[in-house]
Structure 1
């Protein structure tokens, strides 16, 4: 029997729903040009490498002429900042973290995003102190859906993958956790709830009950 020793969280879209507002901000920019941004295309980058789909190249192709990328990036970020300003951590996140601490579990974070994106968000939410190990884009050669980020965190803790749970919100993240051999639980957000997740388990139990179930 494997006993759960470690829980590892994704960041974007799981701890804070940045992903939904990122998409909304891109949509607003696209609509200024009377173009719709399809979620099925955009979703390639959710939870994985941002270069998996380039919204600006897609917009340029749709318009049929060169665009000022830097100007659009600034505009898109302004719109994102307005949308996210009142958004805190997702409901239940602090309860999960406190439950993990109370159970004596080690807590890690594995994000495909850059360190200088993840840390300011965690600091704003006052959540940094919960994590014993934080790994981001710069710590690996390949981000999700490659398992390297998760394997990096597991290696830090010296724990077998079967003794760890990953919490994810995106198909790319779920594939990475599954490829690392971890128990994988999906907590989809407003944006990812309609995406295809294969046969992964959705979070339906309280944290302590989930741990008890996996340890039984």
Structure 2
């Protein structure tokens, strides 16, 4: 029986991921450089320490005397400008409302930092839905390591078999599967072309299938 849901955050609840790529490409262009998506995709859903680092890469491919912190500042400013017009991904709020009415426990497992995640949760007034927010601040290793999901399960007092994970990235889906959760992927415009590992269900958005139907599908697959 499904008793809880754990959501990734960036790229799933709100699409900050494609905006980061867009922002970085803008900064790269200012320095007459190009950021290949196949390289950038390595860091989606994980930390820059574990994957590709686009800031260091820009230094490597240019002969200019660039300051990493200045590049980060420019990218963050561009990201903030674009995000002003972004909203929750389609169907997210409906899932949260439905889950709450069903009495399901809800949590977040994100490779980002707590300050970043809570900022958007508060801006979009959805912090109230989540009983736990597990981020990079509380584990030694982020996704694709399962530590974030294992921590969320512990805080929600759930077993993996009672829980569905919703992910948009290959690294995130790998982490959820490694933790033993039923994994549903909801790729965004940037991650839809990535190769995903094991998962029970793939949705184009949460509007494609009701939460009740997702739970039924997962339960039947587990029977």
- Interval of TM-score (by shorter of Structure 1 and Structure 2): over 0.9
8 Å Cα contact 2:9-2:110 kept in structure 1 = yes
Question: 2: CA distance between counterparts of 1:126 and 1:169?
Answer: 21
- Name structure 2 gaps, 5 residues minimum: none
**3-state SS of paired residue (1:50):** coil
Which of these residues, 10, 13, 19, is aligned with residue 15 of structure 1? 13
The correspondence of residues 81-92 of structure 1 with structure 2, limited to 5 A, is: 81-92=80-91
Question: SS of the counterpart of 2:192?
Answer: helix
SS in 2 for 1:167: strand
User: Which stretch shifts more, 203-212 or 46-55?
Assistant: 203-212
In 2, the alpha carbon distance for the partners of 1:72 and 1:214 equals: 44
Please show how residues 178-197 of structure 1 align to structure 2 within 5 Å.
178-197=177-196
Q: Deviations over 1:191-214 (max 9, x none)?
A: 111111134320253211111232
1:205 and 2:209 correspond = yes
Q: Which residue matches 2:66? A: 67
> 2:131 matched to 1:127?
no
CA distance in 2, matches of 1:49, 1:199: 21
Post-superposition Cα deviations, 1:85-141, rounded to whole Å, max 9, x if no partner, equal 110111100001011111111001100100010001110000000001111111111
Give me the whole-angstrom Cα distance separating, in 2, the residues matched to 1:215 and 1:197.
Answer: 21
For 1:172, what is the secondary structure of its paired residue?
Answer: helix
Report which structure shows greater RCO (CA 8 Å, sep ≥6).
1
| Residue of structure 2 in register with 1:175 after alignment | 174
Deviation by residue 1:140-184 (Cα, 9 ceiling, x = unmatched): 111000000000011112221011000000000000000000100
Whole-angstrom distance in 2 between the partners of 1:84 and 1:132: 25
Moved over 6 A (4+): none
Counterpart in the other structure of 1:140: 139
Aligned-partner Cα distance in 2 for 1:214–1:71: 46
TM-score, normalized by length of structure 2? 0.92
- Unaligned ranges ≥5, structure 1: none
Tell me the number of residue pairs that the alignment of Structure 1 and Structure 2 aligns.
214
Higher alpha-carbon deviation: 167-176 or 193-202 = 193-202
For residue 77 of structure 1, report the CA deviation from its aligned partner.
1.3
CA distance in 2 between partners of 1:86 and 1:139 (Å): 30
| TM-fit CA distance, 1:65 | 4.0
TM-score (norm 1): 0.95
Structure 2 CA distance for aligned equivalents of residues 37 and 24 of structure 1? 10
Comparing 107-116 and 73-82, the one that deviates more: 73-82
